[in-house]
Structure 1
Amino acid sequence: MARLVLWDIDHTLISTRGVGRELSAAAFERTLGQPMREQARIDGITEPVIFRETARLHGLTTDRGDFERFAAALAEEHLRRAGELRERGHALPGAASVLDALAAAGVRQVVVSGNVRAVSEIKLGVFGLDTHIDWEAGAYGEDDDLRPALVRLALKRAGVPAGEAVLIGDTPADVEGGHENGVRVIAVATGKSDEAALREAGAEVVLSDLRDTELLVKLIRGDDQP
């Protein structure tokens, strides 16, 4: 059985149903002093890249200090509006059951996310999905711009070889991040990428969602196929 599962967050475990964009817009205006009229592409992209490219769409050039201020403001906005996030967003079907089942089976679980760590913790905490996560061993948006580097960092922090890990995510970028590090990928078509796109990206397994807990645990063990 795999010793480690690397979880993506947005559209894999949860959906913010538009609240996330509103919080990003509030943090953007607080940081750069002007409203966020549009946002750069976000699916599979890390927070520092989204911030930098969004600022560029507004004719602004930013540096690391700007991003750090944005990240702090973003975490504050998530805390301030946690109740609204809980009310309007939701944990995706099957997420809680799979997290519980893997913990019961002794599988270590970490987050590999383009979100910064503070926001990752708030998002999963709001929906009660944070109990089984080893936060210290994860990798987050403030750690690197590129997802493959985040996967590599999480493997190093967890002290687990790639062959004993499985990544679960919803975008071709998740598949790329896993495969560049020799990690098997289970992709779920719960975001904007459909099953065909995820298969084309090369995911070893593609599922429609996380609802079938028993199947997922078997797939993570590597002893079954969909």
Structure 2
Amino acid sequence: MPELVLWDIDHTLMATRGLGRELWAAAFEQVTGVGLREQASVTGSTERVILRETARLHGVTYDDELFARFTDALGAEHIRRTAELRERGHALPGAAAALAALEERGVRQSVVTGNVRTAAEVKLATFGLDAYLRLDDGACGEDGEGRPELLRLALHRAGVQAAEAVFLGDTPADVAGGHEAGVRVVAVATGKTPAAELEAAGAELVLDGLADTAQVLDALRV
């Protein structure tokens, strides 16, 4: 088994079924005073990039101070609406079992996600996945612009070489980011990208989902 398994969160481990956009819109309006009319593409991106591009679409000046205030507001919205997240969202089938199986085998696990840290913590705790993940070994949306940068940071924090890690995600950006960072990628077709597109993007393996724990464990072996 690999020394370290890194997980994307949204559409890889869980789904928020539209609530995520609502929380994002609320935080955006709080910090800009502008109602959200259009959101930049979120697939495989980070909150920093999404905010910068969305601000541009609304004629709002972006800077690091705006991102810091947005990070706080978005985290607070997740905390405030945790009960609604639990009601509307869900962990994807097999996610908890896969995490538990890796934990039993002594494999370290963390996340590499575009989510800001507080939002990631709330999502994982809400669906009972946080106990298996060492977030300090991973990277979140505050930590960089794109997947390659976040993956390299996670490897550095965990003290693990790229060849000893596997990254699981659901988008071509996850696949490309993993390869740029030198990390093997197992893609899951549980998001908006079909399996054929993930294969075409170059994922070493593509799973339909996480429901078959034995299949997930086999896919992760390096």
Give the structure-2-normalised TM-score: 0.99
Aligned to 1:26: 26
What value does the CA root-mean-square deviation take over the aligned residues?
Answer: 0.7
Aligned to 1:205: 205
What amino acid sits opposite 2:123 in the alignment? K
Spell out the pairing of 1:157-168 with structure 2 (5 A cutoff).
157-168=157-168
TM superposition shift of 1:219: 1.8
TM superposition shift of 1:20: 0.3
Identity of aligned residues (%): 62
What amino acid sits opposite 1:81 in the alignment? R
TM superposition shift of 1:182: 1.4
Aligned to 2:16: 16
Aligned to 2:130: 130
Aligned to 2:142: 142
TM superposition shift of 1:61: 1.6
Q: What is the distance in 1 between the residues matched to 2:139 and 2:2?
A: 19
Aligned to 2:180: 180
Q: What is the distance in 2 between the residues matched to 1:204 and 1:147?
A: 17
Q: What is the distance in 1 between the residues matched to 2:178 and 2:151?
A: 7
In the alignment, is residue 64 of structure 1 matched against residue 54 of structure 2? no
> Which has the larger displacement, 5-14 or 176-185?
176-185
Aligned to 2:45: 45
What amino acid sits opposite 2:66 in the alignment? D
Q: Secondary structure at 2:141's aligned position in 1?
A: coil
Q: What is the distance in 2 between the residues matched to 1:155 and 1:102?
A: 18
Task: Report the number of matched residues.
Answer: 222
Q: What is the distance in 2 between the residues matched to 1:158 and 1:116?
A: 19
In the alignment, is residue 92 of structure 1 matched against residue 92 of structure 2? yes
Q: What is the distance in 1 between the residues matched to 2:129 and 2:177?
A: 23
What amino acid sits opposite 2:204 in the alignment? E
What amino acid sits opposite 1:209 in the alignment? G
Give the structure-1-normalised TM-score: 0.97
Listed as ranges, the gaps of 5+ residues in structure 1 are: none
What amino acid sits opposite 1:125 in the alignment? A
What amino acid sits opposite 2:115 in the alignment? N
Q: Secondary structure at 1:115's aligned position in 2?
A: coil
TM superposition shift of 1:215: 1.2
What amino acid sits opposite 2:132 in the alignment? H
Aligned to 2:109: 109
TM superposition shift of 1:60: 1.3
What amino acid sits opposite 1:153 in the alignment? L
Q: What is the distance in 1 between the residues matched to 2:62 and 2:179?
A: 31
Q: Secondary structure at 1:131's aligned position in 2?
A: helix
Q: Deviations over 1:169-206 (max 9, x none)?
A: 00011111111121111000111110011001100000
Q: Secondary structure at 1:41's aligned position in 2?
A: coil
What amino acid sits opposite 1:95 in the alignment? A
In the alignment, is residue 221 of structure 1 matched against residue 193 of structure 2? no
Listed as ranges, the gaps of 5+ residues in structure 2 are: none
Q: What is the distance in 2 between the residues matched to 1:125 and 1:42?
A: 22
Moved over 4 A (4+): none
